[in-house]
Structure 1
Amino acid sequence: MATVILVRHGRTTANATGLLAGRAIGVGLDEIGRGQAALTGDRLAVVPLVGVVSSPLERCQQTAQFILDRQIGMPSTPTEPDLTECDYGQWQGRLLSCLATEDLWPRVQSQPSAVVFPGGESMAAMQARSVAAIRRHDAAFEAEHGPDAVWAAVSHGDIIKSILADALGMHLDLFQRINVGPASVSIVRYGPNRPSVYASNTDGGDLSWLSNHAHSGDAPVGGGAGPKTS
């Protein structure tokens, strides 16, 4: 299958103030977030992406544009509603410091598979729709561009954490062990036998190896030699 680069949006005004933005409109990247997104765009410039798919929310669209600006011949980014932020319901727009006092908070931390946000979405439903969307787009890109195709999906922290948990074979209740920072890059390949996670939560490093990385369906016993560097 193709390889997907999962990119979280850069820091926002809400992130900087400890506010749970959720699906609120008008939440954009702050100055630091724009710098983070620009650096991520620079990192991905060495990888000829076959496509970029984004959450429809503004902060992801802005981050995706920094990536597109450094790619050749890719004028637009299709949006994918199933990669949008979790519907936090009545939690949306509130300070995280206040939410940490709610009775639901400990369950969010330790048993997210049982969490349904008041007036919103369950975390299990969030994972199901986001994983399905990634796998759907991944299969489509491979069908069009071949098994060595590389594409990017720009989304949100909890969304990417849930996708990584699925790829790692982790129960959703363990997904809080995964960290996904602003504008970070994680890399997953959905092979014929199993998903392979090549990177998680990176904010630096050369990605040019993705341009000529040959894939097989089997995991290398002993770890292998790694990607070719020249």
Structure 2
Amino acid sequence: MAIVLLVRHGRSTANTSGTLAGRLPDIHLDATGREQVDRTGARLAEVPLVEVVTSPLERCRETAAAITGHHGLEATIDEAVTECGYGDWQGRALKDLADEDLWKTVQQQPSAATFPGGESLAAMQARGVAAIRGHDARIEAAHGSHAVWVAVSHGDVIKAVLADALGMHLDLFQRLHVDPASVSIVRYGARRPDVVAVNTAAGDLSWLRATRPEEDAPVGGGAGPRA
């Protein structure tokens, strides 16, 4: 079973200004975001990546470039892992959106939330999960069960993918945190997904070079990865 590293883009100019960027063009990483993705790229430099898939939005492509530069890879752009379609909400200040009735639904029952002129969170999860699982199966078929790959996407999309892997209802996905430039790790298997890590911002990942697929969870927790 392959391993996917879910990487959120670094901090963007919209994050800094408190704006919901959505799919607006020309939203780039800010100075802090560039530092963040450089650190993430360095963390992944020793990991034997076989592919990097990214959202088409600039902040994700800039993040992907900080990773591919260490591996001689060219990122694959996939619209299916792009940001949620926030419709009429995109471009507005988060502090103003918090006064909308829909904001409460997004927080408390996201499975029922559909953004005006945009996408529902349920539809976002469905296409994001389908894309990640599809790429994972394709990459494992092409590169074998030890393959490690990266998907660069957005906070809500990654949270929704993690919720699916954890067997959580979408209504619980706001309990998850996915920070800018963070790395979450999922191994999909024949029996169930194995969520190895969530929202990591530091730490050695070179142990991924020595991973071996295991179908069953070790009773008692096991000895951990072999470095």
1:65-110 Cα offsets, whole Å, 9 max, x none, are 0001111x32x11101000000001100000000000011111001
1:212 matched residue in structure 2: 210
Amino acid at match of 1:3: I
Matches within 5 A, 1:1-230: 1-71=1-71, 73-74=72-73, 76-229=74-227
Q: Secondary structure at the match of 1:220?
A: coil
Amino acid at match of 1:201: N
- What TM-score results when the alignment is normalised by the length of structure 1? 0.98
- Aligned-residue offset at 1:215: 1.4
The number of aligned residues is 227
Amino acid at match of 1:203: A
| Dislocated runs of 4+, deviation >4 Å | none
Amino acid at match of 1:48: P
Q: Secondary structure at the match of 1:104?
A: helix
Amino acid at match of 2:52: V
1:201-227 Cα offsets, whole Å, 9 max, x none, are 000000011111111111111100000
Distance 1:218 1:191 in 2: 10
Distance 1:194 1:110 in 2: 27
Gaps of 5+ in 1: none
Percentage identity across aligned positions?
65
- Aligned-residue offset at 1:114: 0.3
Q: Secondary structure at the match of 2:49?
A: coil
Gaps of 5+ in 2: none
Q: Secondary structure at the match of 1:129?
A: helix
Aligned-pair Cα RMSD in Å: 0.5
